[in-house]
């Protein structure tokens, strides 16, 4: 436990150092901000002195020194104006620095995402990564801003107040200093109590949220089985518990304000009494007493703020370290220095004794060899989740093989640039991903410089032109996030058009298992066969017709390639493929 805490401390110190490195670029701004803060604090603290001086000039009937009073008040007015200006400038500089630093970090984090290997992205939930780049960085920005504005000025205010008070009267300052620790004791007591209650509250809340997620997320199932009453019962039980914890957590945390006000009141009473006594004894003027009272009001406030800022900063550090953790992930290695361009590939692909597994414990592809001649069709067959994407991952070099080699036109794909390798493949996946933007931008995704004629030609070849024409704005129709306004089949046609536009020498196609209406399905098939003419194609196949026409069928199961051959050969083998094939036509 102790060692863990220590470790946490060092990591948070590391994190802090890194943040400072980002801030360093803005050192001029930071210096200005600090100067402004110092000025603001000093002047803010000087104002009560002036008020005190003013009051001392108003002793009683006939004992008012107007001439001096005007001088003091004018001075005060000028100082107030300067203070306000300095304060605004400080806030503005802080805003600018914070938001720029945050932007720098966010952009870097995003850039890093683009170079992270898929092996990292595949195993980390999208929601988690998004929340690091959005929520965590936001949390961090809030913490940083608060830290800038309040931590520093707060500390300076406390120090400054003490100095000013000391300069007026050390004895009464002593009174203030003595009462202050009470405030810490109280705050500490409350914080401890609140913390455990908040923990229990968030636990109960989490429990309730997951129940809500489960039951409302699947409300249709709940209703189909008439399970509403049972769910309600469980819900009310957890909700009741939550209410209990919430009440205590809310109450304890809301004690903070009255309690500090009370301590503040104690300081006030102490200063008032001691001060008045001092006036009688003659070592203090009424005006000075008023300044003291003014300070007493201001003095405890920063303590409160600072304790708030410290928690906020701790959160911010935690968030920042999550972001940095992401940024520290090793990116994919650069292309080899002497990597060559793969131009106009003929489409010969050789897999040479390939070994591959995502994790060492689960071995997947072992000693797999395959020679694909230009223009051949390779069908990947097997039940869902059997690892057909693994093959795509290797061909496109989203993952590197562990052993052996994959060669295109005789070149090891690790010796060519990723860019040119990927340019040589056209890929249509079943999970149709479209970018938010217009239809035109999406078709031209692979070749942004393509002319309108070329785009339309590609759309026509993909049998997508007719439905695009019917869209409200034709090719300029905006596609909403994840293509919400298009049907699954239309999305697939667009993905085909996207590949059709550049039509590289090799293809990776993923036949849709379901969810496409028959007419579109037929169009997609036609588009597919158009594309495949004379091109080396790897097809994740579901249709028997496609499978039968393939030159080589790779049968996969649980991530392994278990059989390899053409339709006839595989049927004769009488293995898994034969079973698959027969089961589809078995009499039920």
Is 268 a binding residue for other proteins by CB under 8 A? The answer is yes
CB closer to other proteins, 61 vs 360:
61
User: Does residue number 560 form part of the binding site for other proteins (CB under 8 A)?
Assistant: no
CB 562 within 8 A of CB 364: no
Q: Is 189 in the site for other proteins (CB under 8 A)?
A: no
Max Cα distance, the chain (Å): 122
What span, in angstroms and rounded, lies between the C-alpha atoms of 453 and 372? 35
Among 2, 123, 362, 587, interactor with other proteins by CB under 8 A: 587
Q: Kindly tell me which residue out of 8, 13, 27, 110 binds other proteins, with binding defined by CB under 8 A.
A: 110
Q: 349-375 burial, b if ≥16 CB within 10 A, otherwise e? A: bbbbebebebeeeeebbeebebebeeb
Task: Measure the CA–CA gap between 162 and 222, rounded to whole angstroms.
Answer: 65
Q: How far is CA 451 from CA 212, 454, 527, in A?
A: 51, 5, 21
471 binds other proteins (CB under 8 A): no
Residue selected from 30, 39, 69, 457 as contacting other proteins according to rule CB under 8 A? 69
Q: CA 534 to CA 53: how far, in whole Å? A: 96
Q: For other proteins, which residue of 181, 240, 333, 484 counts as binding (CB under 8 A)?
A: 240
Q: Segment near other proteins (CB under 8 A), from 11-19, 302-310, 405-413, 479-487?
A: 479-487
Of 537, 473, 472, 466, which Cα lies nearest the Cα of 499?
537
Binding residues among 360-379 for other proteins as defined by CB under 8 A = none
Contact with other proteins (CB under 8 A): which of 184, 195, 251, 283? 251
Q: How far apart are CA 125 and CA 142, in angstroms?
A: 25
Of the candidate residues 335, 415, 521, 551, the single one contacting other proteins (CB under 8 A): 521
Strands in 411-412's sheet, in edge-to-edge order, are 365-372, 349-356, 403-408, 411-412
Residue 129 in contact with other proteins, rule: CB under 8 A: yes
- Which residues within the stretch 481-510 sit at the binding site for other proteins (CB under 8 A)? 481-482, 487-489, 498
Q: Least distance to other proteins from the beta carbon of 405, Å? A: 21
Q: How many chain residues bind other proteins (CB under 8 A)?
A: 152
Residue 279 near other proteins by CB under 8 A:
yes
- Of the two residues 9 and 206, which places its CB atom closer to other proteins in the complex? 206
The answer to whether the CB of 320 falls within 8 A of the CB of 15 is yes
Choice from 14, 214, 328, 572 touching other proteins (CB under 8 A): 214
H or E element, residue 585? helix 576-585
Residue 526 contacts other proteins per CB under 8 A: no
Q: Of the candidates 6, 25, 95, 572, which one interacts with other proteins according to CB under 8 A?
A: 95
Least Å distance, CB 341 to other proteins, is 13
What is the chain's Cα-based Rg? 36
Q: Does 119 bind other proteins (CB under 8 A)?
A: no
Whole-angstrom CA distances from 294 to 50, 89, 161, 277, 298 are: 11, 25, 10, 17, 7
Nearer to other proteins, 3 or 384 (CB): 384
Contact between 566 and other proteins (CB under 8 A)?
Answer: no
The nearer residue to other proteins, 242 or 439, going by C-beta atoms, is: 242
28 is a contact residue toward other proteins (CB under 8 A): no
Residue closer to other proteins by CB (options 38, 73) is: 73
From 203, 273, 369, 529, residue interacting with other proteins (rule: CB under 8 A) = 273
Verify binding: residue 191, other proteins, rule CB under 8 A. no
Contact between 276 and other proteins (CB under 8 A)? yes
- Confirm or reject binding of residue 196 to other proteins (CB under 8 A): no
Q: Single out the segment in contact with other proteins by CB under 8 A; choices: 225-233, 404-412, 460-468, 470-478.
A: 225-233
Q: Which is nearer to other proteins, 5 or 487 (CB)?
A: 487
Q: Is 575 in the site for other proteins (CB under 8 A)?
A: no
> What is the secondary structure of 266-333 as a DSSP string?
HHHHHHHHHHHHHHHHTSS-HHHHHHHHHHHHHHHHHHHHHHHHHHHHHHHHHHHHHHHHHHTSPPPP
Q: Which stretch binds other proteins (CB under 8 A): 165-173, 216-224, 369-377, 530-538?
A: 216-224
CB of 196 to other proteins, least distance (A): 17
β-sheet bridge partners, residue 250: none
Contact call for residue 277 and other proteins (CB under 8 A)? yes
Instruction: For residue 119, give the nearest of 432, 426, 394, 422 by alpha carbon.
Output: 394
Residue closer to other proteins, measured from CB, 11 or 239? 239
Whether the Cβ atoms of residue 378 and residue 537 lie closer than 8 Å to each other: yes
Match 């304000």 to its residue by tokens. 257
Distance of CA 151 to the CA centre of its chain: 26
Residue 434 C-beta: closest distance to other proteins, Å: 8
Asked whether the beta carbons of 319 and 136 are under 8 A apart, the reply is yes
Kindly state the helix (H) or strand (E) to which residue 562 belongs, with its residue range: strand 560-565
Cβ neighbour number for residue 466 with a 10 Å cutoff: 11
- Which residue number, 1 or 224, has a Cβ lying nearer to other proteins? 224
| CB closer to other proteins out of 15 and 423 | 423
Helix (H) or strand (E) holding 111: helix 66-115
Measured between alpha carbons, how far is 35 from 93 in angstroms, rounded to an integer? 11
Alpha-carbon span 147 to 23, nearest angstrom: 13
446 binds other proteins (CB under 8 A): yes
Q: Does 548 bind other proteins (CB under 8 A)?
A: yes
Site for other proteins (CB under 8 A): which residue of 23, 54, 349, 536?
54
């Amino acid at each position: 436990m102790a060692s863990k805490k220590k470790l946490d401390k060092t990591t948070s110190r590391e994190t802090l150092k890194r943040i400072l490195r980002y801030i360093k670029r803005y050192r001029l701004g930071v210096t200005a901000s600090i100067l402004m803060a110092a000025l603001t604090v000093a002047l803010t603290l000087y104002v009560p002195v002036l008020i005190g001086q003013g009051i001392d000039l108003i002793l009683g009937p006939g004992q008012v020194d107007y001439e001096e009073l005007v001088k003091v008040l004018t001075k005060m007015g000028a100082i107030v104006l300067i203070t306000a200006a300095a304060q605004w400038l400080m806030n503005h500089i802080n805003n600018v620095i914070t938001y720029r630093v945050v932007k720098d970090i966010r952009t870097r984090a995003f850039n890093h995402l683009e170079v992270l290997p898929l092996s990292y992205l595949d195993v980390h939930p999208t929601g988690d990564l998004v929340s690091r780049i959005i929520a965590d960085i936001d949390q961090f920005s809030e913490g940083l801003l608060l830290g800038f504005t309040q931590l520093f000025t707060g500390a300076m205010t406390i120090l400054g107040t003490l100095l000013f008070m000391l300069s007026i009267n050390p004895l009464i300052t002593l009174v203030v200093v003595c009462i202050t620790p009470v405030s810490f004791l109280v705050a500490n007591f409350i914080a401890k109590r609140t913390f455990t209650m908040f923990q229990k509250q968030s636990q109960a809340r989490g429990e309730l949220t997951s129940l809500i997620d489960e039951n409302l997320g699947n409300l249709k199932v709940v209703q189909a089985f008439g399970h509403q009453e049972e769910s309600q019962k469980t819900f009310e039980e957890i909700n009741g518990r939550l209410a209990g914890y919430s009440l205590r957590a809310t109450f304890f945390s809301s004690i903070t304000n009255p309690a500090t006000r009370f301590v503040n009141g104690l300081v006030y009473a102490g200063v008032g009494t001691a001060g008045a006594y001092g006036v009688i004894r003659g070592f203090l003027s009424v005006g000075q007493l008023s300044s003291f009272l003014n300070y007493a009001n201001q003095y405890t406030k920063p303590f409160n703020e600072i304790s708030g800022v410290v928690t906020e900063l701790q959160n911010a550090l935690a968030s920042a370290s999550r972001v940095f953790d992401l940024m520290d992930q090793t990116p994919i290695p650069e292309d080899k220095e002497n990597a060559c361009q793969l131009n106009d590939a003929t489409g010969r692909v050789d897999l040479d004794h390939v070994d591959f597994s995502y994790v060492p414990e689960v071995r997947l592809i072992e000693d797999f060899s395959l020679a694909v001649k230009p223009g051949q069709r390779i069908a990947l067959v097997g039940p869902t989740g059997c690892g057909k994407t693994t093959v795509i991952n290797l061909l496109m070099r989203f993952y590197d093989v562990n052993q052996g080699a994959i060669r295109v036109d005789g070149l090891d794909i690790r010796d060519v640039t990723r860019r040119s390798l990927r340019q040589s493949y056209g890929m249509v996946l079943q999970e149709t991903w479209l970018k938010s933007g217009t239809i035109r931008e999406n078709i031209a995704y692979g070749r942004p410089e393509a002319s309108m004629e070329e785009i339309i030609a590609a759309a026509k070849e993909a049998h997508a032109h007719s439905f695009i024409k019917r869209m409200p704005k034709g090719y300029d129709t905006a596609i909403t996030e994840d293509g919400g306004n298009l049907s699954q089949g239309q999305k697939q046609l667009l993905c085909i058009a996207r590949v059709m536009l550049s039509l590289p020498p090799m293809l990776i196609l993923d036949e849709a298992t379901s969810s496409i209406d028959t007419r579109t399905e037929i169009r997609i098939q036609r588009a597919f066969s158009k594309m495949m003419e004379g091109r080396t194609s790897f097809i994740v196949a579901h249709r028997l017709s496609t499978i039968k026409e393939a030159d080589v069928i790779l049968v996969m199961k649980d991530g392994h390639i278990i059989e390899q051959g053409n339709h006839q050969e595989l049927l004769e083998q009488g293995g898994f493929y034969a079973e698959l094939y027969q089961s589809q036509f078995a009499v039920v």
